[in-house]
A and B are shown apart, each in its own frame.
Chain A
Amino acid sequence: MKEQVINFQLNDEPVNVYSDPSLSLLKLLRNRFNLLGTKEGCGRGDCGVCTVLLDGRAVNSCLIPAGKVQGRNVCTIEGISSKSTAKAARFHPIQQAFVEKGAVQCGFCTPGMIMSAFALLQENPSPSKEEVREAISGNLCRCSGYKQIEEAVLEAAKVMICQKEHPGFK
């Protein structure tokens, strides 16, 4: 398709890019914005490693035509650290919990997992184990077996609630 201007919010910054609107959002993020945290796995919506947030909801960026994000809000793994309520924290509490709970092995699914967890915790700050499983059901992990990931998301939920109630808490 002929290139056209696409304006959108990317990690809370307004951006505009001249692009083929039929390019995937995934390729746009990686190749045009150099945001390499979002990974490409299957490229057809079967694995979830390319998960980003579109207007706050988890979506597969490989299945979204770039033209579709016009005027909308896209958040990638690079954009979540700054959203942390603890300003000094380098990592978002979800990222920190993944490290502490050993929820990362090869690491390829991790950004997508974290974005799905992030979308869940925005909407439901204290999810049950089942709700966590449901939220990450669109993300495949071929090494960890999901157990530690589940624990990390539940741990992050606790930390985030704590931080909200006690703003100096780390």
Chain B
Amino acid sequence: MSYTIASNLKQAIKILKESDGKAQVIAGATDLFLENLPSELVDVSAVPEILGITRGKDFLSIGAGVTHAEAAASSVIRSEAEALSEACRIVGSPQVRNMGTLGGNVINAAPAADAAVALVALGAKAVLTDLYGSSREAFVVDLYGGYNRSSVDSSAEILMRFLLKPAQRGEGSAFLRFAPRAALALPLVNAAARIRVEQSLIKEARIVIAPAKPAPTRLLETEKLLLGAKPGLDLWQKVKSTASSEIEVRGSMLRCSEEYRCHLVGVLARRVSQQAVVRAMEAE
């Protein structure tokens, strides 16, 4: 029965181990605090091992404890993973961005969590550590275990960091959301894209939208359409119609009707791809 602020990873693991599965990890608390709290909590938001943003030679490492505000202010994230930077600037409100962490955004497993959508489009991997010191890597998209449910057991594992490939030559990414208001609003649809161009032709494309399934979802048909194509009006028309029809979305009382969401998926998929292509061409 306690709330402990762990000062390092070793201490956090020790508490989790000793609690015999009763204690759970908490970070920014902005989501978890609205639910029924478990009786023992280990606050990892000050654990140095899960903080910080590092640019390696061929990877970008972002600590799971990095807040949305820190990520939004990071020039490294802006230049190497612009979609994530844009997503982090729009989450919740300034107050929520000051507390909520990227790791929490993913583990909370909301189907349209802004940062998670961007991380999936960027192909980010998560690094997790268990209580016995062994770590594993998994794609962010594979950490979803169902609607609003993570496959990560936060009494037995700690999400440490995210690994991303920095933007390559000719590569650009973008994030867009459509919501009833510019702030403090749930998105009706979120979209993120990562695109690489070579001599004005699209060579790689990842387009992700949410909410459609429990996890942010890739638009595989739309991606196929983009591969090898030359960006132009024709292509964007096709992107919109393909995106709208390739995926089933549901209407909800909370957000909007099925028809409207279907329309938005097409529009946002088109806009976000266009934006990513513009950036990719600038980086060529």
A-to-B contact residues, CB < 8 Å = 1-2, 4, 21-22, 24, 44-48, 51, 54, 57-60, 63-68, 70-71, 116, 134-135, 137-140
- Report B-chain residues with C-beta under 8 Å of the C-beta of A68: 3, 5, 29, 43, 45
Interface contact B98-A58, CB-CB below 8 Å? yes
Task: Give every chain A residue within 8 A of B39 (Cβ-Cβ).
Answer: 1
Contact B93 A45 (CB under 8 A): yes
Main secondary structure of the interface of B (DSSP, over half): mixed
Known pairs A24-B33, A68-B43, A138-B184; A45 contacts B3 (CB<8 A): no
Measured in the bound complex, the distance between the Cα atoms of B1 and A47 in whole Å is: 31
With both chains docked as a complex, state the minimum distance between the C-beta of A155 and any C-beta of chain B, in angstroms.
Answer: 21
Q: What residues on A are CB-neighbors of B37 within 8 Å? A: 1, 22, 65
Q: How far is the CB of B44 from chain A (nearest CB, A)?
A: 11
CA distance A116 to B99 in the complex (A): 14
Asked if B94 and A22 make an inter-chain contact with CB atoms under 8 angstroms apart, the answer reads: no
Which residues of B come within 8 Å of A, CB atoms?
Answer: 1-5, 26, 29-30, 33-34, 37, 39, 41, 43, 45, 69, 92-96, 98-99, 182-184
Q: How far is the CB of A133 from chain B (nearest CB, A)?
A: 9
User: A116 contacts which chain B residues (CB < 8 A)?
Assistant: 94-95
The CA of A58 and the CA of B39, in the complex, are separated in Å by 28
Checking B5, B29, B92, B96 against A71 with a beta-carbon cut-off of 8 angstroms, the contacting residue is B5
| Nearest CB in chain B to that of A120: its residue | B94
Taking a contact as CB atoms under 8 Å apart, the answer to whether A22 and B3 are in contact is yes
CA distance A54 to B69 in the complex (A): 14
- Ranked nearest first, the 7 interchain pairs of A and B with the lowest CB-CB distance are A138-B93, A67-B3, A21-B3, A137-B183, A2-B1, A57-B98, A60-B95
B3, A4: Cβ atoms under 8 Å?
A: yes
Give how many A-B residue pairs fall within 8 Å (CB-CB). 91
Q: What separation, in Å, do the CA atoms of A2 and B4 have in the docked complex? A: 12
Given the complex, which residues of B lie within 8 Å of A4, measured CB to CB? Answer: 2-3
The distance in angstroms between the C-alpha atoms of A21 and B26, with both chains bound, is 13
Cβ contact of A63, chosen from B3, B5, B34, B182, cutoff 8 A: B34
Which residues of A sit under 8 angstroms from B1, Cβ to Cβ?
Answer: 1-2
Query: Please, how many angstroms separate the alpha-carbon atoms of A46 and B182 in the complex?
Result: 13
Extra contacts besides A59-B98, A60-B30, A64-B99 (8): CB < 8 Å: A1-B2, A54-B98, A58-B98, A60-B96, A63-B33, A63-B99, A67-B3, A134-B94
- Rounded to whole angstroms, the CA-CA distance of A134 and B99 in the bound complex is 17
Please judge, given known A-B contacts A64-B33, A65-B29, A138-B96, whether A21 and B183 are in contact too, CB under 8 Å: no
Tell me, in angstroms, the Cα distance from A67 to B184 when the chains sit together: 26
- Distance A60 CA – B99 CA, assembled complex (angstroms): 9
A80 to chain B minimum Cβ distance, whole angstroms, is 17
